A and B are shown apart, each in its own frame.
Chain A
Amino acid sequence: MKKILVIAMALSVFSCTNLDETIYSSIPSDKFFTTEEEFLMSAGRVYSHLLGYTHYYNIWGTITVSTDEALSPFRQFNQWDDGGVWRDLHAHTFTPAHDNIRQTWEFLFTGISLCNQILYEFSQATLDFPVKESMIAEIKVMRAWFYFNAIDLFGNVPFTIDFTDVSVPLQKSRTEVFAFIEQELKENVDLLVDSPLANYGRATKPFAYMILAKMYLNSEKWFGAPKWQEAIDACNAIINLNTLQLEDDYFANFKANNQPSKENIFAIVYDKVYANGGDWSRRFRFHQLTLHWESVRTFGILDETWNGFCTSQSFFNTFDLTKDYRSNMWLYGPQVESSGAPLLWYGWQVDFTPYVTSLFDMSNPAGHNQGVRFAKYEYENGLQGECMNNDYVVYRYADVLLTKGEALVRQGNAATALPLFNAVRKRAGLSDYTSADLTLDEIYAERGREFVWEGSRRQDMIRFGKWTAARDFKAAESDNHTEIFPIPARARTNNSNLNQNPGYTD
């Protein structure tokens, strides 16, 4: 009681009208940015933001399930319908209300806003430190990459590069933004390091050139303006750095410890300890996405797996299972435990069939064991927690070779392209192509086999004119409006400057 009296007296004496807040567990903004490390810890948000890329609701899921390389059918018992988001992506029946497309949009534009904000912080810095200039260049290149993805997926997009401008951004055309990206990359590429291994998980010269190469490769499709030579030049710029090469083993690029890969140009660095914060959406969880719940006993995984994504039968059939080394990425047929004993469910052996009954049919759903599963990334024995340790490969050197090869073929220079393709073919254990083999359809198929679930298929399908054609569980489309995704309804509510893409109604 004495204590209370003392407090009472204290209060009576000091009682006033001061309402300032005392902060304990966070930092007032004006007390930060005093050291180099503090700038880096703020700038690093761009890279930790990328951890969301592979989330199945995010960009990776959106650009993968909308192609023939992946589907998530409505299954018996544990349904995976999720309100139709997967079938709408796969069958191209998405609308501006599609939730995964919205999350994809938000991922990209949050990335852009982050870059703008970080660049603003750097612009305010009075502190100088050695890596300041290269860090600014990195952030600008990352912003260019976000914009590249944005125009690839959404066409005309809101554009701003100034964080201090609080007005709602105007929509710029794909052409204008293309020009910005091109210029931004060219202006900054020389400030970056040559080797991905020297700047692992961050922007480097090969990464910047790879973005350019991909932009030029798609230029004809996007604008009717072929830029094959520019694509070849960008690829050559990478090749001439001599910092990259094909790994002998295709799967070395996807191992649990794939950081030493000399082939990977840009990887999102996952780590079950450091890159696995409290955020559920920032975990690399291909194991949970695709594996049958019983498959944990095949790989010794200490977690639940969700029996969701598989590949389409027609895509699976493009593999020569006897010869193509890469087909080891697929789990098909009767499954076994790690001990070699049959993998049983209710006493029956789990058997992944390429055939899938239906994409969505409540009365006749896909079976729990249907669809071939994906195991290109190593599933680490004893994996605990929801995040794999493998780094997700965004771009790798094989794509440089095949991009250059494709551009050469499209220029009519198949002979020069041949060794580029055969280097990739050889590693896959396949016979060499001849010049006559290098048809666009064959290039398309080979790219498909090489880059399964690497986020390349959508661009390929559009560029090779396959996107709107009929395939498993999708009818032929009457026009090509789905080659650009709708601008999400929420984005247009928030920004009235945005016109919807053609062919979509809100």
Chain B
Amino acid sequence: MKKVMILWMLSILTFSFTALAQKNVNGIVTDPKGEPLAGVSIAEKGTSNGSISNADGKFTITVPQNAVLQFSCIGYITQEIAIGARASLSIIMEEDNKMLDEVIVIGYGTTTKKEITGSVSSLSSENFKMGNITDPIALLQGQIAGLNIIRPDGGDPNGEFQIQLRGVTTMRGGTSPLIVIDGIVGGDLSALSPNEIQTIDVLKDGSAAAIYGTRATNGVILVTTKRAIPETNKLEFSSYMAFQSVDKKPAMLTADEFREALTKYGMDNSADHGASTDWFDQVTQSPLTQNYELSSSGGSRTLNYRASIAWTKDEGLVKKSSKENLKTRINISQMLLNERLKLDYNATYSTAKSAYSDTYILRQAMFHNPTEPVYADENTPAQYGNYYYVGAMEYYNPVAMLEEYEDSGLRKLFTGSINASLSIVEGLKANMLVSLTESSDRYGHYYGRYYPIGIGNNGYAETYNNHGNYKSLETYLDYSKSFNDHKIQAIAGYSYSEQWAESYSDMNYSFDTDLFSFYNIGAGAAIKNGLASMSSSKSSSKLISFFGRVMYNYQEKYLLTTSLRREGSSRFGENHKWGLFPGISAGWRISKESFLEGVKWVNEIKLRAGFGVTGNQEIGNYQSLAILRKGSSNFYYNGSWLSTYEPGRNPNPELRWEKKQEFNIGFDASVLKNRLNVIFDFYNRRTTDLLYSYSVPVPPNLYGSTLANVGTIDNKGLEFTVSGTPYLSKDFKWDITGTVSHNTNKLVSFSDDIYAMDALNLGYFGDDLKIYTMRIEEGWSLGNFYGPKFLGFDGNGGASYEDLDGVEGITEADYQIIGNAYPDFLFSLQNTFTYKNFDFSFLLRGSVGNDVLNQTRVYYEGPGYLGTKNILKSSFDSDYTGGAYYSSRFVEDGSYLKLDNATIGYNLSLKSTVLPKIRLYLTGQNLLTFTGYKGIDPEISLSGLQPGIDWYDFYPRTKTFVVGAKLTF
């Protein structure tokens, strides 16, 4: 202890001696109104020497002669002062309104944060999380209140993301938000590298989204890609490696436990095949991901470019599965005619090569008998190849499924666009964007002769080829003018888009050899025997619209935005092709009122309110037309077989849009020198004319269902975002952002005079049970689990359930609501710490109150399947000996808290003109999950009408560790 004291004394002394060669500078820092400012960081430029102003705005710092001081504080513009000979300073900090002047992309133009009146969230590249992220949509996960993003097949590199904004707004239509990339409506985000994105803006409420009309019900995600910084030559190289490991696997019995279970449940040992196999390990691997990206940009203000290329190879947890992405992009910007005309060319080309995994393999591996050997023994009949074979129904050797199966795809996507913007007179601009997107997809499957399903096929091949084409034109005039206290910005435009898609597929089997895979599909014999098949199709659709928007404000205090889109789609009935989508919103910046002028701690308070109408047209083409199609079977007519032709569907000339009306109120507040920011929104959205396939009487109808617009769904919710900087000093900064969202929904109706539905039963479990596990009735919330309520085990190997109708036995009359899939609220918490050149950040995400139906437990907790199949270890937790039976026993609380992402980074800045700036980082993804859920992962798909079911066709999430570097020249 004494030693430490001495050392400490010595260091103080040393410090004092050093200081002797310097001088003391003191002073006061005030805001423009003359009020003292506390917490201003004062640093000697180029050193680690620094100080902070106290509550009276005063500071003292010891510096050498001629030092330069930096004054910085959040909410104010940083100043540099050369002190010269002065020993005392009086500094006035200028307010920094950059945050309020931040540009927000709103579709067909931009506005500023202070002027926005709708509910719009933004994320810019400096806040993007790091890690193994190849699809930019993942950047938004856990970042935006009300936007719920889940990748149901967590560890599958080919898995899709499910995106849901502000609850369920459709029963049958599309559920994904509209993606707009650099103004091109309907883009494919996965073709873009996250590194190429500058900002992402999400139009959440109806008033903001209404400008995109019929495609905007699920919200609009506007993506702006990076451009060159003029007069700056830059080359960036980045790379990372990711290592994944399975976080949790299904807790099935080991071979030894399986043998014990046979004894425990009094079964003979005929099911013991003598081996010990971990089937899960047999079909999985430890995947590795590599990513390399190169981008270069430069040029003058009037002509510049940016080009990039990114390559990623992502291996999957299941053996043989992978995805290989190549993404290239080039942008050229040019200004002509005295800089009145600006041209912006964009071209992107990407390929994605996928080797798919089959989740059915994982299900088979999960319930496979662990005492079976993997490979054949002397008793195995020759037709099963080298794989051990047991002839039970729907029971297949997972290793054979894996090794004898090839499933791959290749997707190519090209997008080219030109945007021309011409300044006609001061304040008036004409803008035209033309784009072309060409896509091609090829998928192929091959099941070898020893693939355990369909033994006897002798090799089965399928290929699919799809080609898509999308052209769009977006033109508008943009007029803006300020006079006195008034500011007006108006646009008026026309939009046209058309798409067509062609597809071709074929199937053949009975091949002489497996060596062809699906690359020589004509070689199979089934085509000669009339058992092969082929098909092709083509479809097209068009969208045309006229739109306008006026934004007006008075003294930047009272804000008003109105927009209107009139849009027509070829997909709808003759009398319903055109729809009208208005949006109106207003804002009041209370902080600009005189009574708040003097309130120092308030920087910004704005109230917002808006109303907007949007639509959903994702129903497929030709649904309203009377068409004939070829029937699936022929009929025998006088010694030969004739084709059949049948109407495509029951006609419904009344087919029209799904229409959503949304009311949103909210406020934005920034206080304490903008160090604390709060955004709050409340929304109430009603979707009417919901499309659904209705059961109709036959006759008079030809088919038992008709697509009709009937139902109404309500969603109401709250969103809350708090961000701030709790601690700030010269070297250390702590930023924190938290979001909470809450949504409730209700199915108001799904019947009218013509189309009636008592209830909608969903969540169908096949495989012996054949029951519906979910139900929707009018007036109910969506997402209800419906079934018998489990009361407990009866001690005799059975279980008892609540008997509601008093009639002996549990029937449908005893079913009740036994859970709901939707969370009470979702939350996230992002923390970022910066210390000198180090940074550390972590993201927590969580969900509270969501119920999950654990399908694996329904079937495999209990000895029902023991013997042929394996069962869960948890079977031993009770004395239950009955078969699979659905009840509330398997509807579990799925609340969770996840450490989703943690990154530690280091920026190495070498004082050299040749050596690059280097950033090194280490990221962990999906690191920890806290939950009481008994299955693998409670983060389950919440999209569609049957959310919250943890199907036994699972793909476990992986824990990922990423090590990466970025070099900037």
Contact = CB atoms under 8 A, between A and B. Distances in A.
A303 B510 CA distance: 13
A293 B697 contact: no
A497 to B, nearest CB: 9
B116 to A, nearest CB: 31
A495 B542 contact: no
Given A23-B627, A293-B392, A15 B473 contact: yes
A440 interface: no
Interface in A155-185: 158, 160, 163, 165-169
A67 to B, nearest CB: 22
Interface string B110-138: 00000000000000000000000000000
Interface string B512-553: 000000000000000001110100111111101000000000
A30 B647 CA distance: 11
B633 A19 contact: no
Contacts, number: 251
Interface in B688-705: 695-704
Interface string A31-67: 0100001101110110110010000000000000000
Interface string A370-395: 00000000000000110000000000
Interface residues of A, number: 99
Contacts of B770: 81-83, 85, 99
A85 B770 CA distance: 9
Interface residues of B, number: 96
B454 A45 contact: no
B932 interface: no
A192 to B, nearest CB: 14
A48 B646 CA distance: 11
Given A169-B700, A200-B636, A24 B457 contact: no
A307 B393 contact: yes
Nearest to A168: B697
Given A7-B434, A7-B436, A384-B457, A109 B641 contact: no
Interface string B737-758: 0000000000000000000111
A269 B636 contact: yes
Contacts of B434: 4-5, 7-8, 11
A225 interface: no
B580 interface: no
Contacts of B426: none
Which one of B768, B865, B867 has the greatest number of beta carbons of chain A within 10 Å?
Answer: B768
B916 interface: no
A210 B455 CA distance: 43
B393 A109 contact: no
A304 interface: yes
A73 interface: no
Interface stretch (B14-22, B618-626, B905-913): B618-626
A87 B629 CA distance: 39
B859 to A, nearest CB: 10
A24 B540 contact: yes
B1 interface: no
B622 A303 contact: no
A21 B645 contact: no
B769 A81 contact: yes
B544 A17 contact: yes
A38 B630 CA distance: 11
A117 B645 CA distance: 13
Interface in B751-782: 756-758, 768-771
A22 B645 contact: no
Contact of B699 (A83, A160, A304, A306): A160
Chain A interface mostly: loop
Interface in B627-651: 627-629, 631-639, 641-648
Contacts of A301: 456
A304 B455 CA distance: 8
B541 A304 contact: no
A166 B754 CA distance: 12
B577 A19 contact: yes
A81 B768 contact: yes
Given A11-B434, A26-B629, A494-B696, A273 B530 contact: yes
Which one of B379, B627, B700, B881 has the greatest number of beta carbons of chain A within 10 Å?
Answer: B700
Contacts of A345: 391
Given A19-B570, A167-B700, A24 B538 contact: yes
Interface string B319-356: 00000000000000000000000000101000000000
B698 A110 contact: yes
Contacts of B457: 302, 384
Given A28-B625, A41-B642, A21 B436 contact: no
A79 B638 CA distance: 43
6 contacts: A1-B347, A12-B473, A29-B626, A45-B645, A271-B636, A278-B632
Q: Which 10 pairs across A and B sit closest by C-beta, in order of nearness?
A: A302-B456, A277-B632, A83-B770, A273-B530, A44-B635, A78-B393, A24-B538, A113-B699, A277-B633, A8-B434
Given A27-B627, A82-B770, 20 more contacts: A19-B577, A21-B540, A21-B571, A24-B537, A27-B628, A32-B645, A47-B635, A78-B868, A81-B768, A83-B769, A109-B699, A114-B702, A200-B636, A275-B633, A275-B636, A304-B453, A306-B393, A384-B456, A490-B695, A495-B697
